[in-house]
Amino acid sequence: MQVTSEAKVKDEMWWRALVPYQKPVLWRSLWQTTNSLGPYFALWYLMYLSLGWSYWITIALTFPAAGFLIRSFIIQHDCGHGAFFKSHKANGYLGSIIGLLTFIPYDYWRHDHAIHHATAGNLDQRLVGDVWTLTVQEYAERSFWKRVGYRIYRNPFVMFGVGSIFIFLIEYRVARGRAGPRERKSVFRMNLAILGMFILIAVTIGLKNYVLIQLPILMVSSSIGVWLFYIQHQYEDVYWERRENWDYATVAMEGSSFYKLPKVLQWFTGNIGFHHIHHLCPRIPNYSLERCHKENPVFHDIKPVTLRSSLKSLRFRLWDEERRMLVGYGAVKRREENMRGL
- What is the pTM assigned to this prediction? 0.92
pLDDT of residue 2: 47
HSE value, Cβ hemisphere, 13 Å, CA-based, for 4: 4
pLDDT in tens, 26-68: 999 999 999 999 999 999 999 999 999 999 999 999 999 999 9
Domain of 187 in residue numbering reads as: 5-341
Give the residue from 83, 90, 82, 80 showing the smallest Cα distance to 129. 80
| Low-confidence residues in the chain, pLDDT < 70 | 1-14, 177, 336-342
Straight-line distance from the first to the last Cα atom of the chain, in angstroms, rounded to the nearest whole number: 33
Domain count, the chain: 1
* 8 A C-beta contact, residue 156 and residue 314: yes
pLDDT of residue 336: 67
Give the residue from 325, 116, 305, 170 showing the smallest Cα distance to 241. 325
pLDDT of residue 1: 46
